């Protein structure tokens, strides 16, 4: 080792010590801020999760909000640690803000679906297993996700609907209430016995135990149509029995009307022909 190398070694030691004294406390403070900040972020995340669980919020939303809270607090902790090291974070925050704005504009559709998903999870207009109609589709709710909702149609097709489309239209939840009214219309001929037809309809409804007594079913003449006298028949039943009872009543009424000689007329029109005498 020559003299110049020894000289460099003699100057290198004090420089390292100067750097340690100058930046060492800052590095230690930054590390302490980061460690304590992570602990604080976990505490805040757990507190948010507990509050949401007490409010009986969906588990999916609890997990998402907890993670979002943790990442948000951790971002502030990282900025504070970098600032402790003497790094200018103002431009860094501005760049992050501009990048966030650009990403938000690019993902505008996805963000609207995300916001709609959060609202659905919070307000719960429907839940898994409900039969709903929305966005032009009717089906059984299979799964509610942050961006989309999956419906299973009666013919076993899986339809994936963006949440923004679903929340932007009317939603009909057929499973929300325990009872439903079945609306049916039966027409009889003008020459048939009106009282007899009404009595037959009453007997059919009274003989089926699935039909509720309260509210009482309604049987009434609703219209004197062009081809028939129309009865409205409106019994109430449990939601789970709706379709089975609907199909059963349709078949039973047709069989009983045939047995009792009550006709269900086709649409018809009377045509009158007039013959004019020829003039000489």
Q: With a cut of 80, say whether residue 230 has pLDDT above it.
A: yes
Q: With a cut of 80, say whether residue 216 has pLDDT above it.
A: yes
Query: Under CATH, what is the fold of the domain 179-260?
Result: Alpha-Beta Plaits (3.30.70)
- Give the list of residues 6+ apart from residue 231 with CB closer than 8 angstroms, or none: 185, 186, 187, 188, 197, 198, 201, 219, 220, 221, 222
146 close to 114: Cβ distance less than 8 angstroms: yes
Q: What is the DSSP letter of 141?
A: E
Q: What angle do CA 94, 100, 102 make, to 5 degrees?
A: 105
Top pLDDT among 83 and 189 is at: 189
> Mean pLDDT in the chain?
83
Share of the chain above pLDDT 90, in %: 45
Confidence (pLDDT) at 6: 43
Domain segments of the chain: what residues? 13-106, 125-173, 179-260
Range 144-164 average pLDDT? 91
Top pLDDT among 275 and 50 is at: 50
Pair type for strands 184-188 and 218-224: unpaired
pLDDT, tens digit, 9 for 90 and up, residues 3-32 = 454 445 555 556 665 656 566 677 788 888
Q: With a cut of 90, say whether residue 60 has pLDDT above it.
A: no
Range 152-181 average pLDDT? 93
Confidence (pLDDT) at 232: 97
Top pLDDT among 161 and 51 is at: 161
| Cα–Cα distance for residue pair 204/253, rounded to 1 Å | 7
Query: What is the end-to-end Cα distance of the chain in Å, rounded?
Result: 147
Beta strands in the chain (DSSP E): 131-134, 137-144, 148-152, 158-162, 172-173, 179-181, 184-188, 218-224, 229-234, 236-238
pLDDT, tens digit, 9 for 90 and up, residues 64-121 = 677 778 888 888 888 888 777 777 666 666 666 766 666 565 556 677 888 888 788 7
Pair type for strands 131-134 and 137-144: antiparallel
Class of domain 125-173: mainly beta
Burial level of 191, CB count in 10 A (0-12/13-18/19+)? exposed
Confidence (pLDDT) at 3: 43
Tokens 């900040």 label which residue?
37
- Give the list of residues 6+ apart from residue 204 with CB closer than 8 angstroms, or none: 249, 252, 253, 256
| Cα–Cα distance for residue pair 73/182, rounded to 1 Å | 54
Q: With a cut of 90, say whether residue 259 has pLDDT above it.
A: yes
pLDDT, tens digit, 9 for 90 and up, residues 33-58 = 888 888 888 898 888 888 877 866 66
Class of domain 13-106: mainly alpha
Confidence (pLDDT) at 272: 78
| Cα–Cα distance for residue pair 262/266, rounded to 1 Å | 13
| Cα–Cα distance for residue pair 16/12, rounded to 1 Å | 6
Confidence (pLDDT) at 92: 64
* CB burial readout 113-137, b (16+ within 10 A) else e: bbebbbebbeeeebeeebbbebbeb
Peptide bond into 59 cis (omega under 30): no
Confidence (pLDDT) at 51: 82
SS3 call for 149: strand
Q: pTM of the prediction?
A: 0.63
Confidence (pLDDT) at 34: 84
- Which range (54-58, 148-152, 159-163, 230-234) has the least confidence? 54-58
Q: With a cut of 90, say whether residue 273 has pLDDT above it.
A: no
Confidence (pLDDT) at 10: 56
């Amino acid at each position: 080792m020559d003299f110049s190398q020894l000289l460099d070694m003699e100057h290198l030691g004090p420089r390292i010590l100067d750097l340690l004294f100058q930046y060492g406390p800052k590095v230690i403070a930054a590390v302490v801020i980061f460690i304590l900040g992570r602990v604080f972020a976990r505490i805040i995340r757990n507190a948010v999760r507990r509050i949401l669980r007490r409010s009986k919020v969906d588990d999916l939303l609890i997990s998402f909000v907890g993670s979002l809270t943790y990442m948000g607090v951790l971002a502030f902790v990282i900025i504070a640690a970098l600032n402790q090291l003497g790094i200018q974070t103002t431009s860094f925050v501005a760049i992050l803000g501009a990048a966030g704005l650009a990403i938000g504009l690019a993902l505008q559709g996805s963000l609207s679906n995300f916001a709609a998903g959060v609202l659905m999870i919070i307000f719960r207009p429907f839940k898994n297993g409900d039969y709903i109609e929305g966005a032009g589709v009717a089906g059984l709710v299979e799964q509610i996700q942050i961006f989309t909702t999956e419906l299973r149609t009666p013919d076993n097709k899986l339809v994936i609907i963006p949440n923004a489309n679903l929340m932007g239209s009317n939603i009909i939840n057929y499973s929300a209430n325990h009872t439903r009214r079945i609306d049916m219309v039966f027409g009889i001929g003008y020459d048939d016995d009106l009282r007899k037809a009404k009595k037959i309809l009453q007997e059919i409804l009274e003989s089926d135990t699935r039909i509720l007594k309260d509210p009482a079913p309604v049987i009434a003449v609703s219209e004197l149509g062009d081809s028939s006298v129309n009865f409205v028949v409106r019994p109430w039943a449990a939601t789970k029995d709706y379709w089975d009872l609907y199909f059963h009543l349709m078949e039973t009424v047709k069989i009983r009307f045939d047995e009792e000689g009550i006709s269900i007329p086709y649409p018809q029109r009377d045509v009158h022909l007039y013959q004019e005498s020829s003039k000489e």
